[in-house]
A and B are shown apart, each in its own frame.
Chain A
């Protein structure tokens, strides 16, 4: 088990250093790659607070009232994606995305620390 872990760790380290060297090129590509040529999928998330629900606990002024929920469409698109693990995982899987490299780097550091702690 340790052997397979080692190989993963070292390959992770090699890849990370290469990725870091290319990070400027990659991030530039990511910026350019953000053209929505493919039609965006229709949002499947439905809010648990339908339009008209009073959002309790938000107001803290004497003369104010708790805000009322608007229709789902009135909120920005990113709000429905921000808590979606699928969206996050898609970004981590995409090698052009910064998140991919951050996660790879994170895992490589964890693996290296694991090895180092095992040795001492």
Chain B
């Protein structure tokens, strides 16, 4: 959840919000309030836009707040770690990783491929080949202590 410095009149806000469940004060309220945006407005629009998504799925959002306090936002696909944990059937990633620590879960290459296909649809991935995105997913898996098998 990082906040970029205001560029000209607009400022960017990056948050991860559970689909269909926006509003609570801690994550969203203060962040938006600081920029003069009513959190209820954002939450209504967000929940409306994400009504087709499984409730509670974490979704990264990028909110652009203009000088006149109007805002637009873009929703992206859930974080890769979310997909990997579900595919491996685990709640949390590994506390420690490396050759002295066992893996905490396992995913296969076909699951990696499907995850990469979903991620490919994101705006930021336009320059990457599907192979490149798969390599990224495998890298994330390894960082989480999830073994990637054939």
Contact = CB atoms under 8 A, between A and B. Distances in A.
Interface of A: 45-49, 53, 55-58, 60-63, 67, 69-70, 75-76, 78-80, 82-83
Interface in B122-144: 130-131, 134-135, 138
Contacts of B112: 79
Binding site secondary structure of chain B: helix
A80 B149 CA distance: 10
A62 B53 CA distance: 5
A118 to B, nearest CB: 24
A80 B138 CA distance: 12
B114 A48 contact: no
A46 to B, nearest CB: 7
B7 interface: no
Contacts of A61: 52-54
B23 interface: no
Contacts of A53: 110
B108 to A, nearest CB: 5
Interface residues of B, number: 29
Contacts of A80: 109, 150
Given A46-B150, A82-B109, A58 B114 contact: yes
Contact of B86 (A57, A78, A82): A57
Contacts of A46: 150
B54 A60 contact: yes
A81 B15 CA distance: 35
B87 interface: yes
Interface string B48-69: 0001111001000000000000
A78 B131 contact: yes
Contact of B115 (A58, A63, A82): A58
B78 interface: yes
B15 to A, nearest CB: 18
Contact of B150 (A48, A63, A70): A48
A82 B131 contact: yes
Given A63-B52, A82-B131, A83-B150, A55 B57 contact: no
